[in-house]
Structure 1
Amino acid sequence: MEHKSAEDLERGDLGTNGTTVATSPVNDREAESIPAELNEYEDNSKVPKLSVLRIFWLFLTRFGIFAWGGPMAQIALLKDQLVLKEEWITIARFNRVFSVYQILPGPEAAELCMFFGCLSGGRLGGIAAGIGFILPGFVLMLVASYLYTIVGFGNMYVNASFRALQPMVAAMMFRAVHKISEHALLSNKTKRLSPWLIGYAIFTAVNSALRINWFISLGVYGLINMAIARRYFIIAGLIFVLQYVVYGVYVHFKGVPSPLSFALGIAPVPDLPHLFGLGLVAGSLSFGGAFTAIPFIQAEAVLRGGWMLQQAFIDCIAIGNILPAPLVIFSTFVGFYGGNVYGGLGYAFAGAVIITIGMFFPCFLFVIAGHHLLERLVQNRFLAAGFDGICGSVVGIIAIVACQILSASVNFQGHGETLTEEQRYQLVAQNSLAAVIFVLALGVQYASTNRYTIIILVISGALAGQFLFL
């Protein structure tokens, strides 16, 4: 029996009611002749048709408030409930949908919720599902941001807990680099580690050491991989050499770029338009999930803008790891912090809302615009090669930021105040303790794959800080 290719089976799009609308020229008689198993990528017959309100309530109460344990736990919960138990779609279709969202920017768990919402209630259903999934974590982060801002760095007990949490965040980042590498550096053809993608990660890290803007590296290695996919090796080599020729010319006339060159200056001040732009750019470039958004926001808010302290930025990532939400919810904290700096507490709440909207807007747009259209684009070998090159480059960026966060957490120098000799000695001892916490936290993450490991680590760290850093 002759089987059609997966690409032939994917020729469809989401209609306004969430059903699949065929666009391929297949008449009724031909459709009847296609075996049922070949339609597993398009069959929506088991998807319940729900109202927008019911979809919102479903994803709020069954997934949003139980979204603990990070993205893999969230995705596993969706798969278990909607695919394995209720059989909305087949496992094969779920795996294909998931593969698309791994390549595109945005938190995959939120995008999957929106996809299921579209199937059940059309585009409005997709929006309702996404909001229901995100809302609990957003509200909790808003409360946490408010409490953190009220207490501030002046409270020694809060400071002690977060001093213990900061090296744990560095350990989470290092573990994330490994996890992301496991799929971001694999060749789509051989399913093995690609030397090209590994090279992109290494050279992006080198570019970061040379202070070449990350956006340049993403574009360069995306183009190089597209050229290599077409076997245009000479063009790929020219692009590779050209980046360093241009860099050499720049250094000759302007000098070595400053650390501020990592940022584009999207948010020089944390007013509402700039906060929205910061969230929008970070959300659009979050290939590989939330950990990719971290370096972009750090560069703009901490390095270039200077309106957020590095320690506060690390703290917000720690808080984001224990909430039932995609990790990109840490951006809510950044918006609240920046809004408070710019216009006080009243402005802070508006800043938190506006940056969160900007962060999630791209993934809402991608899914609601039509999953199948994106799927066909991703299946295009030429474009897919560009995405692969960007993903490889992203690994290098995250690795560099992980090293920066580790350095900030184990080489803490205080908040700029003048220290006595005794205080300096105490600070050195505390930094040594932070290094030990980093090693232990990293070891625990490799030893345990339980979905609640991160939450237990964060809670334990907050408690341990009261004994180690007071």
Structure 2
Amino acid sequence: MATDQFPESRPSQLGLAALFLKFLRFGALAFGGPVAQIAMIRQALVEEERWIDPARFNRLLAVLQVLPGPEAHELCVHLGMVARGRIGGLLAGLGFMLPGLVLMLLAGWLYTTWVADHAGLSGVLLGVQVAVLAIILRAVVRIGQHIVEDWLLAVIAAACLLATLAGVPFWIPLVAGGLVYAGSHRPMLAAITLAAAVAVAVAARLIAMPGADAAIETGAPVTLAALFVAGLKGGLLTFGGAYTAIPYVRADTVGRGWIGDATFLDGIALAGVLPAPLVIFATFVGYVAGGVGGALAITAGMFLPAFAFSLILFERLEAVVENPALHRILAGVAAAVVGIIAATFFQLGAATDARVPDTLLAVILFALALAAVWRLKGAWVTPAVVAGGAVAGWLLL
């Protein structure tokens, strides 16, 4: 793509190596989650270097927030395209994700070779897991505040929460949520869609053979293809924030018995303190389940949509997202995802409760961590809460 397709302003001409190194630096400093990451990129490339004007940046950010995928990473891919076309977008995206990828691979190696088998760290890990549950709950509420904008979206989210807890396959709530909200201006059509979704969900539960769930959970072998698909599913369904990838990655890894919920939560905790998009937790999950190959496969799946939407579809993205029908479908799907991730919070909470020696102490620790993440702001909050959970777990659990 030529830079003259972006007439509002142009970045200074950079060589490909310099472009890669610029975004590699952004990646190495990407602490504090997407808000802090986007603010850093805006300060450097919009306000200081004037790659694009602020109005263009705001429109771009609005488009990326509607689409699935980690928005800070997609923003880097797009700005790399502004500078040097599609090869620039590819290099910018790789540079931004590389520091977190390398650090998470190292963390996975340290975890599997030392931490996981160290019995004396069990209390520390339990404390971290309880703290992470508080972080997830706060994220669910924050995401819901941005997505659940009316009573129908709230009903969709609640229905998907209950459906997920009842074991309904994830795709049924997603499809139903999108179609019901898209057809909400036609009440009869919405009612028919909802009735059809309920019928499909009931049929899926009735048709399932006894014992099938156990076979799915424990019998499936670990394959690179399955890990890639697990990451791809998460990458395609990260509406409203990286935490929305959690239920899909968990279903395809914990659900198959490849790792446990405790290890899964440890991966989320590590991702929260590394300089990377939070979806890098998938790299840890892939490493524990399938070694370096598994880590790379699940990471490739997770980040593929973030590259593809910008690299392949950029010229059409804004026009497509302006389609009101698509807006309503995406809004319904996003509300369904809020319900699904809320259900995952309850499932992870139940799994953690089964392992803690003292439920009351765990509830107190959870309440304190939740109060901290609810009231405090700043890039330091998540690492501090995780560290506090580790210390409390070591002393109390």
TM-score of the superposed pair, with normalisation by structure 2: 0.94
Q: Residue 446 of structure 1 aligns to which amino acid in structure 2?
A: W
Q: Secondary structure at the match of 1:370?
A: helix
Task: Give the match for residue 29 of structure 2.
Answer: 66
Which structure 2 residues correspond to residues 2-401 of structure 1 after superposition, within 5 A?
Answer: 16-20=1-5, 43-61=7-25, 63-185=26-148, 193-228=149-184, 231-250=185-204, 268-303=220-255, 305-339=256-290, 348-401=291-344
> Residue 257 of structure 1: CA displacement?
9.9
Q: Which moved more, 1:363-372 or 1:241-250?
A: 241-250
Q: Residue 463 of structure 1 aligns to which amino acid in structure 2?
A: V
Over 3 Å counting, the alpha-carbon distance change for 1:257 and 1:121 in structure 2 is farther
> Residue 260 of structure 1: CA displacement?
6.8
**Runs ≥4 residues deviating over 4 A:** 249-261
Task: Give the match for residue 28 of structure 1.
Answer: none
Q: Residue 379 of structure 2 aligns to which amino acid in structure 1?
A: R
Q: Which runs of 5+ in 1 are unaligned?
A: 1-15, 21-41, 186-192, 340-347, 414-426
> Residue 374 of structure 1: CA displacement?
1.3
Over 3 Å counting, the alpha-carbon distance change for 1:448 and 1:252 in structure 2 is closer
Which structure 2 residues correspond to residues 404-423 of structure 1 after superposition, within 5 A?
Answer: 404-412=347-355
Whole-angstrom CA distance in 2 between matches of 1:272 and 1:154:
25
After superposition, give the CA deviation of every residue in 1:41-89 in whole Å (9 maximum; x if it has no partner).
x54424222122111100111x111101111111111122222233222
> Residue 157 of structure 1: CA displacement?
3.4
Which structure shows the bigger proportion of residues in helix conformation? 2
Q: Secondary structure at the match of 2:220?
A: coil
Task: Give the match for residue 385 of structure 2.
Answer: 457
After superposition, give the CA deviation of every residue in 1:173-220 in whole Å (9 maximum; x if it has no partner).
1111111112212xxxxxxx2111111101111211322111111011
Q: Residue 370 of structure 1 aligns to which amino acid in structure 2?
A: L
Aligned length: 396
Task: Give the match for residue 9 of structure 1.
Answer: none
Whole-angstrom CA distance in 1 between matches of 2:143 and 2:171:
19
CA contact (8 A) 2:130 2:389 kept: no
TM-score of the superposed pair, with normalisation by structure 1: 0.80
Over 3 Å counting, the alpha-carbon distance change for 1:259 and 1:320 in structure 2 is farther
Q: Which runs of 5+ in 2 are unaligned?
A: none
After superposition, give the CA deviation of every residue in 1:291-319 in whole Å (9 maximum; x if it has no partner).
1111011111112x111111111111111
Q: Which structure is richer in relative contact order (CA contacts within 8 A, separation 6 or more)?
A: 2
State, as a whole percentage, how many aligned pairs show the same letter: 36
- Who wins on radius of gyration, i.e. which is larger? 1
Q: Residue 310 of structure 2 aligns to which amino acid in structure 1?
A: V
Over 3 Å counting, the alpha-carbon distance change for 1:370 and 1:457 in structure 2 is same
Whole-angstrom CA distance in 2 between matches of 1:84 and 1:289:
25
**RMSD over aligned Cα, in angstroms?**
2.1
Q: Secondary structure at the match of 1:50?
A: coil
